[in-house]
Structure 1
Amino acid sequence: MLDSIDYYNRFAAKYYEETVNATMKEQLNQFIELLPIGGAVLDLGCGSGRDSLFFIEEGFDVTSLDGAEKMCELAQIHIGQGVLNLTYEQLDFDEVFDGVWACASLVHEKPEQLSTILQKVIDCLKPNGVMYMSFRYGDFLGFNSEIDYYAYTEDTLSSIIDKCRENQNIEIIKTFITKDEREEFLDNKWLNIYIRKL
């Protein structure tokens, strides 16, 4: 079993090809409607840089970040600007961003660690800043032969967000479920959630 950084370094080119053309327009458009024009956006776990490029083209001030060095190299070529090679544990921004985009970025984090990581991410947001997250939808923990994923329901994810509320003043704006856009993964469902830092 590989940890997530080793996995994405090893399979960076394959993952890039699988995801770079997937469409997230519904979620992306809902997200930018919640942000100030030209605001600062952190693309957390940017992968191929697909969504970073969307934000750049929409006029946002984009900081892209990924823990896997090989993914950073590919994303930099795709978006035409630098990508920070940092893990989530290394995050150290204090109220810098109007929005944090975490599309399938936190799916490998163990549930018992997720609330701690979320608190670090929320620290990055300015007051009234918005975060988008997506997770595999379901009530199982850890699967796949090469790397662990963790899935959530509305209730299990809400319980983790409630833990964050002990230290962070946040509200859930919206949750909804979508199907995977990639043809080979159409049976997969995703839990989407928008939260705001108050």
Structure 2
Amino acid sequence: MDDSTRDYYEQEARRFFDATVNIDPTPILNPLAEALSPGARILDIGCGSGRDLLWLKNRGFFPHGLEPSPALAALAETHSGCPVTVGELTTTDLLDRSWDGILVSGVLVHLPHEAVPAHLARLARALANDGRLYVSLKEGEGAGADADHRSFYYWQDDDFRRVAQGAGLTVLSMSRSASARGNADIWLGYLLDAKGGKP
């Protein structure tokens, strides 16, 4: 994540929280929830407002958030009542543990394409046996920035599938949906497992 993107989430934490916390995440999270047993331990990377943490907790899971912005992390922890660690996907030691589920929603879109394969491989290694990974990405070509100066890197389905397979991940299901925030973005959602990459 570049500095301008990181600065946005810290400086505009309350605005981002207010814009996202009341969006119903059920269509996004159901594939992951249905693939896991009650009591599963789930790491939500880039947990933002804590909306998804609360949804998962209310369904009998044990979620733990990771959020780069200290301001957003505090809001997420208060909103969800779940533990939230301040840190980033690129450097966190939380992936040295084993997780039943890992949620990476709207996070990899901020990383250059060439950085994603190594991170996917690390995510695959952090999955417990029969663990599941959920990833969402913006559909499109190349890279760009929005009005808030956040950098985005766009993906095509075939390209992501190829990178996921190279990281030892198998696509179990895929969805394509319009943004819940009412803009023109199209999101690709993938439920994956790492059976193909585990001994």
C-alpha displacement of 1:95: 5.1
CA distance in 1, matches of 2:83, 2:41: 15
Per the alignment, residue 151 of structure 1 pairs with 154
The 3-state SS of whatever aligns with 2:110 is coil
* Contact 1:2-1:147 within 8 A present in 2 as well: no
Letter of the 2:89 partner, please give it: Y
Kindly provide the CA deviation profile for residues 116-138 of structure 1, in whole angstroms up to 9, marking residues without a partner as x. Answer: 11222222210221011111111
Match of 1:77 in 2: 78
Distance of 1:96 and 1:49 partners within structure 2 = 21
Q: Secondary structure at the match of 1:142?
A: strand
Partner-residue secondary structure (3-state), 1:88: coil
1:141, distance to aligned residue in structure 2 (A): 1.6
Letter in structure 2 aligned against 1:173 = L
Alignment gaps of 5+ in structure 2: none
Identity of aligned residues (%): 26
Match of 1:110 among 109, 112, 125: 112
User: Counterpart of 1:38 in 2: which secondary structure?
Assistant: coil
Quick check: 1:191 aligned with 2:194? no
Letter aligned with residue 178 of structure 1? S
Secondary structure of 1:107's partner? helix
**Matched letter for residue 28 of structure 1:** L
Query: Given that residues 94 and 125 in structure 1 are in contact (C-alpha distance below 8 angstroms), is that contact kept between their aligned partners in structure 2?
Result: no
The code of the aligned residue for 1:144 comes to: D
Secondary structure of 2:176 counterpart: strand
1:131 alignment partner, SS class: strand
> TM-score, structure 1 length as denominator?
0.90
Amino acid at match of 2:23: A
Q: Which residue of 1 aligns with 2:63?
A: 62
Q: Does 2:84 correspond to 1:87?
A: no
**Matched residue, 1:18:** 19
Q: Give the corresponding residue for 2:139.
A: 137
Partner of 1:35: 36
> 2: CA distance between counterparts of 1:126 and 1:65?
18
- What secondary structure does 1:192 align onto? strand
In structure 1, runs of 5+ residues without a counterpart are: none
CA spacing shift, 1:162–1:171, aligned 2, 3 Å: closer
RMSD value over aligned CA atoms?
1.6
* Residue type at the aligned position of 1:191: L
- Segments ≥4 residues shifted beyond 6 Å: none
- Give the conservation status (yes or no) of the 8 Å contact 1:142–1:148: yes
Is the 1:95–1:123 Cα contact (8 Å) retained in structure 2?
no
Hey, what's the Cα distance between the residues in 2 that align with 1:34 and 1:74?
28
